[in-house]
Structure 1
Amino acid sequence: MKGEQQVEAALKSYEDVDSWKTMIFLYNSAMKEVETKLEILNDEFQHVHQYNPIEHIKTRIKTPESIVKKLRRYGYESSIENMVRYINDIAGVRLICSFTSDIYRLAEMIGNQSDLKVLSIKDYIRNPKESGYKSYHMLVSVPVFLSDSVVDTKVEIQIRTIAMDFWASLEHKIYYKFEGNAPEYISRDLRECAKMVAELDDKMLSLNEAIQECIVQEASRRNMDDVLDNVVGTRRGQGVIHFRSQKTE
């Protein structure tokens, strides 16, 4: 409730500014802060491990129409206060990864940020929706520093693989076209596609692990060759290598 009260207080403090614009300003600022944090984490991972867990980052602010529609679906009146209190995904950041292992690695890194508060987690990867939807959702609160106050503002972070994002984007377009009432055969085919996507993710993860193992083995072999070369070179320098002469008849 603290964050919601701070947002409401911030809205009231801008008496000469439209409340809607103020709310969007706060959520947009929070979204930018989270995006910057994630970019820094990705750069750090590249610096330390020579690997980027994040393929790309998408951000969006929910449209007024979507917010009003969601409030009505929840049974609430359309008001700024209800938007702040009951709509958790006004500001959204989506992380697209290559492999499922990256998802949980990123979630842990985000959870370790001292100035981000994780409010809730929904793991739709281990527990997919009935439709077949898979993604990892984190609702976080991030402090937005204004000129005279600090406002904790909610941002929803979604983490998914490239394959999951492809499926989810297609599913969203289909259900948007049918306004949530797609024919059963389409829903069934989407669920089948979701299974294929899961199998693809598993295959690609296994392939990546096999590649990494080959890289480790090759590096180990090269290190051993270097050690042997150094040993041989040292012994030659010390004159301790003896060659056995062959007898000739």
Structure 2
Amino acid sequence: MQDLMMGEKPPFDLKKINPEIINSHLRETREMMLMYDCGIKEVKTKLEILNNEFQVQKERNPIEYLKSRVKSLESIVIKLHKKGYQLSVENAMEQLHDIAGIRVICSFIDDIYSVADMLKKQDDITVILEKDYIKHPKPNGYRSYHMVLEIPVFFSQKKQNVKVEVQIRTIAMDFWASLEHKLYYKETDVTSEEISGRLKKCADIIAATDIEMQSIRDVVEEWEKLSPKKNKSVEKIVENVDK
């Protein structure tokens, strides 16, 4: 595919892209976007199954909720140009790892590692890249567990391996990351150093809270194991069945 932007530099105006070139590659582009959308569905299905299995085995869900998105064409165009690649479906698929993205929001820190381990054990998933920003936070305080997975998607005439970026984080980590993104890029007279320092402090407080909440959960679970109430409820169910 030839360069759609005709030498334009970021930021790009998609209205300037040659319509004839877009039309000639419209089907190819649509197929690529469909492929990534299907890749997201495949990984989300796996996550939902694993979450349900966890509920049956341990009587709680490690995953609170899922978010997903496929990058817009404009975002793909901008990222390819920033990386110095000519715009083409081939370059997008080969050079970009985050066209398809899923955010997995967990309750506790150890749930993050449980979910990551369960995904890695799937024999049809290939882990291309892993970055642990929980054990090794970014300088700004950002914490999350990143994985780039490759998963087969079966269409009517072919099988296509699709890359999907998965970000796994706690509710608290997601809260901080979402607000940091909104606050940091607003126009303000406050120096960036001051904002960065305060955001980093918030990230550290939130990280400490995550650790404390997990510790509290461990105490509660240990208490539940020793509590006779659970056993009594099971006995009551058995009695009702016998009747």
State the TM-score, normalizing by the size of structure 2: 0.80
Residues 200/219 of structure 1: CA separation in 2 closer, same or farther (3 Å cut)? same
Aligned residues: 207
2:170 maps to which of 158, 161, 167: 161
In the other structure, the counterpart of 2:138 is: 129
The residue that corresponds to 1:3 in the other structure is none
Q: CA deviation at 1:169?
A: 0.6
Is 1:194 the counterpart of 2:192? The answer is no
* 2:54 equivalent to 1:45: yes
Pairwise CA distance, 1:127: 0.7
* Corresponding letter in the other structure for 2:113: Y
How far has the Cα of 1:99 moved from its partner? 0.3
Partner of 1:243: none
Q: Quote the residue 2:104 is aligned against.
A: 95
* CA displacement at 1:81 relative to structure 2: 1.9
Which residue of the partner structure matches residue 78 of structure 1? Answer: 87
Structure 1 alignment gaps of length 5 or more:
1-14, 227-249
Asked if the contact 2:68/2:103 (under 8 Å) is kept, the reply is yes
SS in 2 for 1:75: coil
Structure 2 counterpart of 1:212: 221
SS in 2 for 1:140: strand
User: Could you tell me how far 1:202 is from its partner in structure 2?
Assistant: 0.7
CA drift of 1:72 comes to 2.6
1:183 equivalent in structure 2: 192
The match for 1:141 among 135, 146, 150 is 150
TM superposition shift of 1:111: 0.5
2:123 counterpart SS class: coil
Q: Which residue of 1 aligns with 2:30?
A: 21
Structure number with larger C-alpha Rg = 1
For the residue of structure 2 that corresponds to 1:18, the secondary structure is helix
Over the matched positions of the two proteins, sequence identity in percent amounts to 48
Q: Distance in 2 between matches of 1:171 and 1:33?
A: 30
Change (3 A) 1:192 1:106: same
Task: Determine helix, strand or coil for the equivalent of 2:227.
Answer: helix
1:30 aligned residue (39, 42, 58): 39
**C-alpha displacement of 1:71:** 2.0
Q: Which runs of 5 or more structure 2 residues have no equivalent in the other structure? A: 1-23, 236-243
Q: Shift of residue 50 of structure 1? A: 1.1
Question: Using the alignment, how far apart are the partners of 1:214 and 1:36 within structure 2?
Answer: 33
Q: 1:16, 1:86 → 2: CA distance? A: 19
The 1:76–1:219 alpha-carbon spacing in structure 2 relative to 1, beyond 3 Å, is farther
In structure 2, C-alpha distance between the alignment counterparts of 1:221 and 1:112, rounded to whole Å? 32
Q: C-alpha separation between the residues in 2 aligned to 1:16 and 1:139?
A: 27
Using a 3 Å threshold, how does the CA distance of structure 1 residues 83 and 105 change in structure 2: closer, same or farther?
same
Name the TM-score, length of structure 1 as normaliser.
0.78
Question: Matched residue of 1:95: which SS?
Answer: strand
